[in-house]
């Protein structure tokens, strides 16, 4: 069963962590607990010991703990790091990279999925500083489990109530269920923008940065899938745990996709790359000189449609997902593409109303033959949304 590192911080909602532990232990999860200094105002180590949790830590300089595992291993051993409840102070520390106690150090040192469940007064929750900190931690790929609305411990009514233990448990369970489905699955992703050579120094390209495709690749890795990324001209840091094959042109990308699919049965392929529909019929061997031409006409010929072609071969991945950047009639054009390219889903972007290329944000319509869902947010959130929705229908 998975291991959870549970961090409890100073909030009047801290006793709910005990109820959550009871549920998780009953379901067979392993739990280790870190109590911050503030948490100890509301709960004690003995209360967790009484639930038969043996590993409870609170002090970064605790000899007992360092002897056993050391503060870095603590976050490495677990499959998930959950802060429940998270105070405004703790969120501020995480947002700004502070590491002045065991809990914040463990989060900073973690290479695992992190959930943070805030609990605080309604005015604090809506305070601009807290909101900015929440955005910061979300951008660091931490999942914020939004608080509920209701009667707060201070007597005020509004948003700020910690997610109830049973609901929190369900979120954890959903996360591990998805992980269970995805672990060791083979995922192929194309990303970036292809370049078609005109002569030795020039090319026809597009504005795609590869950010969305890379976000999807990272998210699949986070869930334990094997990811192959076919990257066209991506100028971003790609983590080493993503197998990456680079290419420049559509033709090269097409060859790589076919080679990969022949070699390995992919479970899901996501074609997020912006592929040039045309290439130059004849690439000039020498740099084209302007003194030779008053007017220059390039003859373009069609590139292979990688997605449409792969959907027709025997070695095609089990699930195919295409992208569609449209400047008008988004849903209708996306639906046509779904049929024409014979894929299972289309992720459609409206490029007329949204600045998408190279942006950290995105706005999509996710469609299959039966339904369509829209979603807006950071490219990481979009990646999460896509992954969760693929599995709803498979
Ligand atoms: O036809 P259009 O370019 O709008 O289709 C977009 C989708 O098709 C994307 O998923 C893109 O990666 C894929 N595509 C492709 N090969 C092409 C053109 C587009 O795989 N030559």
Q: Ligand 1 pocket test: which of 271, 325, 329, 332 has the largest number of ligand atoms within 8 Å of its C-beta?
A: 271
Cα 316 to ligand 1 centre (Å): 16
Establish whether residue 58 lines the binding site of ligand 1, counting it when its CB lies within 6 angstroms of any ligand atom: no
Establish whether residue 213 lines the binding site of ligand 1, counting it when its CB lies within 6 angstroms of any ligand atom: no
The pLDDT score that the predictor gives to residue 67 is: 62
Closest ligand 1 atom number to CA of residue 325: 4
Per-residue model confidence as pLDDT tens digits over 43-58: 999 999 999 999 999 8
Report the predicted TM-score, pTM, of the whole model to 2 decimal places.
0.83
Percent of the chain residues topping a pLDDT of 70? 95
Cα 154 to ligand 1 centre (Å): 55
- Please name the residue that has the structure tokens 């971003």: 236
Per-residue model confidence as pLDDT tens digits over 216-249: 999 999 899 999 999 999 999 998 889 999 999 9
Checking phi first, is residue 343 left (phi over 0); if not, alpha (psi -120 to 50) or beta? beta
* Rounded Cα distance, 236 and 261, in Å: 25
Closest CA to 324 of 309, 341, 301: 341
Establish whether residue 321 lines the binding site of ligand 1, counting it when its CB lies within 6 angstroms of any ligand atom: no
Cα 378 to ligand 1 centre (Å): 23
- Please name the residue that has the structure tokens 């609170």: 58
261 catalytic, yes or no? no
The pLDDT score that the predictor gives to residue 138 is: 87
Confidence label for 68 from pLDDT (cuts 50, 70 and 90): low
Cα 307 to ligand 1 centre (Å): 6
Q: Ligand 1 pocket test: which of 188, 213, 269, 275 has the largest number of ligand atoms within 8 Å of its C-beta?
A: 275
Cα 67 to ligand 1 centre (Å): 55
Least confident among 60-69, 115-124, 182-191: 60-69
Q: Exposure pattern of 337-359 as b/e (b: 16+ CB <10 Å)?
A: bbeebbbbbbbbbbbeeeebbee
* Rounded Cα distance, 312 and 290, in Å: 44
Closest ligand 1 atom number to CA of residue 190: 12
Establish whether residue 343 lines the binding site of ligand 1, counting it when its CB lies within 6 angstroms of any ligand atom: no
Q: Is 90 buried (19+), middle (13-18) or exposed (0-12) by CB count in 10 A?
A: buried
Least confident among 51-65, 125-139, 254-268, 273-287: 51-65
Establish whether residue 317 lines the binding site of ligand 1, counting it when its CB lies within 6 angstroms of any ligand atom: no
Cα 305 to ligand 1 centre (Å): 6
Q: Where are the beta strands (DSSP E) in 255-360?
A: 268-271, 278-280, 300-302, 319-326, 345-350
Closest ligand 1 atom number to CA of residue 277: 21
Active-site residue (options: 154, 247, 261, 343): 154
Confidence label for 296 from pLDDT (cuts 50, 70 and 90): very high
Establish whether residue 303 lines the binding site of ligand 1, counting it when its CB lies within 6 angstroms of any ligand atom: yes
Q: Report CA-CA distances (Å) from 199 to 75, 84, 112, 287, 289.
A: 52, 58, 46, 5, 10
Establish whether residue 275 lines the binding site of ligand 1, counting it when its CB lies within 6 angstroms of any ligand atom: yes
The yes-or-no verdict on residue 393 having pLDDT over 70 is no
Rg (CA), the chain: 25
Establish whether residue 250 lines the binding site of ligand 1, counting it when its CB lies within 6 angstroms of any ligand atom: yes
Establish whether residue 210 lines the binding site of ligand 1, counting it when its CB lies within 6 angstroms of any ligand atom: no
The yes-or-no verdict on residue 394 having pLDDT over 60 is no
Main-chain dihedrals φ then ψ at residue 148, nearest 5 degrees: -95, 170
- Please name the residue that has the structure tokens 């605080």: 120
Per-residue model confidence as pLDDT tens digits over 151-180: 888 888 889 999 999 999 999 999 999 999
Establish whether residue 6 lines the binding site of ligand 1, counting it when its CB lies within 6 angstroms of any ligand atom: no
Cα 33 to ligand 1 centre (Å): 48
């Amino acid at each position: 069963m998975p291991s959870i590192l549970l961090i409890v911080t100073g909030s009047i909602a801290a006793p709910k962590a005990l109820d959550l532990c009871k549920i998780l232990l009953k379901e067979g999860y392993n739990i280790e607990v870190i109590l911050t200094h503030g948490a100890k105002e509301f709960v004690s180590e003995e209360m967790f010991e009484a639930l038969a949790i043996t590993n409870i830590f609170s002090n970064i300089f605790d000899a007992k703990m360092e002897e056993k595992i050391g503060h870095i291993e603590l976050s490495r051993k677990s499959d998930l790091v959950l802060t429940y409840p998270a105070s405004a102070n703790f969120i501020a520390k995480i947002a700004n990279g502070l590491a002045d106690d065991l809990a914040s150090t463990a989060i900073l040192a973690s290479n695992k999925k992190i959930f943070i469940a805030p609990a605080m007064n309604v005015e604090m929750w809506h305070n601009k500083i807290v909101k900015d900190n929440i955005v910061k931690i979300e951008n660091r790929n931490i999942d914020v489990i939004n608080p509920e609305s209701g009667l707060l411990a201070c007597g005020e009514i509004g948003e700020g109530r910690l997610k109830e233990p049973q609901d929190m448990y369900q979120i954890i369970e959903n996360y591990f269920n998805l992980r269970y489905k995805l672990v060791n699955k083979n995922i192929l992703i194309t990303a970036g923008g292809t370049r078609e050579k005109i002569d030795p120094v020039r090319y026809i390209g597009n504005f795609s940065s590869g950010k969305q495709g890379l976000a999807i690749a990272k998210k699949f890795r986070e869930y334990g899938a094997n990811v192959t990324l076919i990257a066209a001209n991506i100028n971003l840091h790609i983590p080493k745990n993503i197998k990456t094959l680079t290419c420049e042109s559509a033709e090269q990308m097409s060859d790589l996709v076919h080679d990969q699919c022949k070699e390995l049965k992919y479970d899901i392929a996501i074609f997020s790359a912006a592929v040039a529909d045309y290439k130059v019929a004849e690439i000039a061997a020498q740099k084209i000189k302007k003194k030779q031409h008053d007017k220059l006409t390039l003859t373009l010929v069609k590139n292979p449609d990688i997605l449409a072609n792969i959907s027709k071969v025997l070695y095609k991945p089990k699930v195919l997902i295409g992208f569609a950047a449209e400047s008008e009639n988004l849903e209708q054009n996306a639906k046509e593409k779904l049929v024409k390219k014979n894929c299972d889903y289309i992720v459609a972007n409206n490029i007329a109303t949204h600045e998408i290329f190279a942006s950290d944000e995105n706005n999509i319509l996710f469609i299959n033959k039966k339904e369509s869902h829209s979603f807006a947010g950071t490219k990481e959130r979009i990646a999460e949304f896509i992954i969760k929705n693929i599995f709803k229908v498979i």
